[in-house]
Every structure is written in C-alpha cells, then in structure tokens.
C-alpha cells in the first residue's frame, strides 16, 4: 500500500472523480488539493528524476519539504516521462480512466508533447481539461513565462498594496497562484456538472493575471466608473472610514464602521458623541475626506488604554473590531481550532506535522482532524500499473483493457 493510498471512503461530494495532475509548484497543486479535499482522487504525475520542484523547497522536517507536504497531501505519485513511448502508453491509459486533467505548463508545451487539448478532446471526450498559466491560452502574453510576482505587478494589485505614499508592494502571499488555483477548481467543478448535464467534457482556461484582475474588485470597478487612479492606502479602506488599523496603548487593533449606525456606536464607545455632528465626520463622504484628522482623534483616545479594554467595549457596542494577529497568534487561536483549520499529518518519514485545514465545510461529509501524508516520489507506480492492466515493465497483462467504472 502506498503512503497516500486512497481509502475509497466518501470524503466529499467529488468522491468517484479521478484527477490526473500534471502540475507543479503552487497554482496547479493548490487547485488539485482543493479537489482532493472535496473528495476527488488525485494522481500526481511527476517528472522523472526529481519530481515536483517543491520537494526541494524549505522548510524541512526530517529532510522532507513541509512546503510540498502541505499542498500535496493525500495525492498519489507516479513518475512518467511523456517523451518516452513506454511511459506514454501508461499516461494514455490513465487518461482513458480519468475525469479531469490539470496542467500548468507554459501554453503550447502539451502540444509539443503530442497532447494538444484539441487532440485530447477528440481521443478522450469524457475529459475535463484544465490549463492554469500566467496569462492564459490566448492573447499576446500567452507564450511568456510568469511567476506570481509578475502577475501581481501586471494586474495592478501591487500598485494598491503597501503603505500610503510608499512603494508598490507584493502581497504577503502568492495570491496570483492561489487565486488561479481556486478559480480553476471552481471551473473544473462547473465543467463536471456540465458533463453530467450534456455528456461531454470541456476545456477550462485560467490565468493568474485574469484571476488577480477579478480580485481587484471595487478598485477596478471604481476605475472603470470614474477614471479614479487608486493608489496604496495602507490598511485604510479607500472609501469606507473608519476602516483601518489603530494604535492602542499596547498594541494595534482594527476597527471597521461601514454605516452611520456603527459610526455612532463607535463615537459613543470612545466618549466622543460629538463626532456624529462634526461636519468633518457626519457622513461617509465627509469622513473619507477627513480620514487623517479622524484617525488622529481616534488614536488620541485609543492610546489612553490597552487594546483588551477597548476591544471588550467595542464588542459590547456591536462595533466590528479585532486585534492584529501574527502567525503565532493564528496558530493558537481558539476560533481557528474550533473550525478545524489546523490539521495534523502523521507521515512515516517526516513524523507529525500540522498544516492548514479546509475552509469548505459541507454537511454529510467528515472534516477529520488529520489528513493523509503527501506521497513519496513515484510510490504509487506498481499499484497504478496493476490497475491499468500493465506489469512493472508496462507490458499488458491478462487483465489489460479493464476499465474504471464511469462515475462522472
């Protein structure tokens, strides 16, 4: 049995879906992780010799990459050289039994290997084929390589992030990769639903750049509607005031008031009911125009007492507020624990480690406190070959031609 063997239990609503995962690093593996968390079986096809690059990414535990383990847990690994005739036979048998193929090569790479999406559609009409790339399969930038940093720069995301008046700043997480992975998972699930309805596969094309443009949300909408050139505003919301980070006597907190009722409650709690009749602060537009003055007055009051005191008072008044947590605070937060957002992995090689749980909770399916480990490189080869009717050398056995039952 392989280290990440599928128990065939109905872990989620995608139970019975087989995903053939040609992806590496982050955007693609994050997409297939989401599908795995929703119940799909994920077969990770890795390059011969070394596998996914992230197997070498720090940090390490007992010589194994924690980075790789976190985003590839539960998957099964087989190493295939898609230029090798013998391995192509294996790959094509896997394709015949798969519901979904996910790849994040540079556009055109699969075609050079003889697996252009149009050819795959003709040969494997049941497949949902998902391609994740920096710029998508079309457009003038399509052939170019991209990292999250490049996508964040081109999307405008960096221009609205960072300290007010400061230099453009990359988000602290790879949102281009993560956003593309999430949108690809949504597209795949929609295509699977369409497959059930219309009995045909589909192609899903998701770009990091496109994903970040959609995630610009109101910044883009405002630019389209008014021509406004938004710039970085630090922690402050560009429209809603107060909606920012504020310094108390001992630490930073955030306070958000998106309507007049909440602002009045805030003013009363801070002992400044006069703010509601001050012409600088008596409307959303006025507060936005005088945000510097309002923040100065708020911090003059907040600085007189510790954060815990103010947070208790704000909570009692129904005003949204919270302390600013550091990662160590998140790890130990009782709310995070209650939502099972830190789960364990018991890995034979790495030992025990903890990773993020799934934010998607669906009734009728368990959300266990542990997850299976990420696979060792190529460890599922023998089991997968046997299931395909092939021996260890890739030759057909007596069971050749056995097909996987159609589920999706």
DSSP result, 328-388: HHHHT-HHHHHTT-EEEEEETTTEEEEEE--S---TTS---SEEPPPPPTTTTHHHHHHHT
Residue 120 CA to residue 95 CA, distance in Å, equals: 9
Q: How many CB atoms sit inside 10 A of residue 264's CB? A: 16
- Going edge to edge, which strands form the sheet with 243-247? 243-247, 252-256, 321-323
* Cβ 41 vs Cβ 112: under 8 Å: no
Q: Which residues pair with 21 in a beta bridge?
A: 44, 102
- Whether 237 sits among the annotated catalytic residues: the reply is yes
The half-sphere exposure of 250 on its side-chain side, counting CA atoms within 13 A, is 8
Active-site choice (8, 15, 50, 237): 237
| Cα-to-chain-centroid distance, residue 128 | 20
Q: Phi and psi for 100 in degrees, rounded to 5?
A: -135, 135
| Cα-to-chain-centroid distance, residue 154 | 20
Sign of CA dihedral 137, 140, 144, 150: negative
Element (H, E) at 128: strand 128-133
Q: Phi and psi for 194 in degrees, rounded to 5?
A: -60, -35
* Cβ 30 vs Cβ 73: under 8 Å: no
Catalytic residues: 237
């Amino acid at each position: 049995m392989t280290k990440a063997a599928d128990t065939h239990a109905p872990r989620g609503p995608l139970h019975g879906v087989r995903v053939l995962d040609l992806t590496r690093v982050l955007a693609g593996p994050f997409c297939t992780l989401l599908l795995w968390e929703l119940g799909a079986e994920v077969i990770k096809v890795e390059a011969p010799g070394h596998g996914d690059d992230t197997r070498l990414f720090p940090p390490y535990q007992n010589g194994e990459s924690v980075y790789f383990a976190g985003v590839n847990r539960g998957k099964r690994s087989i190493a295939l050289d898609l230029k090798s005739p013998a391995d192509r036979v294996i790959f094509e048998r896997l394709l015949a039994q798969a519901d979904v193929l996910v790849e994040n090569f540079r556009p055109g790479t699969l075609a050079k290997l003889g697996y252009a999406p149009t050819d795959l559609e003709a040969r494997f009409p049941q497949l949902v084929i998902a391609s994740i790339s920096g710029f998508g399969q079309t457009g003038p930038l399509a052939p170019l390589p991209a990292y999250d940093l490049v996508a964040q720069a081109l999307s405008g995301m960096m221009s609205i992030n960072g300290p007010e008046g400061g230099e453009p700043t990359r988000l602290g997480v790879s949102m281009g990769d993560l956003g593309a992975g999430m949108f690809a998972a949504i597209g795949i699930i929609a295509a699977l639903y369409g497959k059930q309805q219309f009995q045909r596969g589909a192609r899903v094309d998701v770009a990091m750049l496109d994903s970040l443009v959609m995630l610009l949300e109101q910044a883009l909408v405002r630019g389209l509607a008014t021509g406004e050139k938004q710039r970085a505003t630090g922690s402050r919301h560009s429209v809603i005031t107060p909606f920012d980070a504020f310094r108390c006597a001992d630490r930073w907190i955030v306070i958000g008031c998106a309507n007049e009722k909440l602002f009045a409650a805030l003013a009363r709690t801070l002992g400044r009911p006069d703010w509601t009749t001050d012409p600088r602060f008596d409307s959303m537009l006025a507060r936005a125009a005088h945000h510097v003055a309002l923040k100065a007055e708020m911090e003059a009051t907040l600085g007189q007492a510790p954060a815990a005191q103010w947070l208790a008072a704000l909570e009692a008044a129904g005003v949204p507020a919270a302390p600013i947590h550091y990662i160590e605070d998140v790890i130990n937060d009782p709310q995070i624990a209650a939502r099972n957002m830190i789960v364990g992995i018991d890995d034979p090689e790495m030992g025990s480690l903890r990773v993020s749980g799934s934010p998607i909770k669906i009734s009728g399916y368990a959300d266990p406190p542990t997850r299976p480990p990420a696979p060792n490189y190529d460890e599922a080869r023998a089991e997968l070959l046997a299931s395909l009717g092939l021996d260890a050398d890739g030759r057909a056995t007596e069971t050749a031609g056995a097909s996987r039952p159609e589920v999706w």
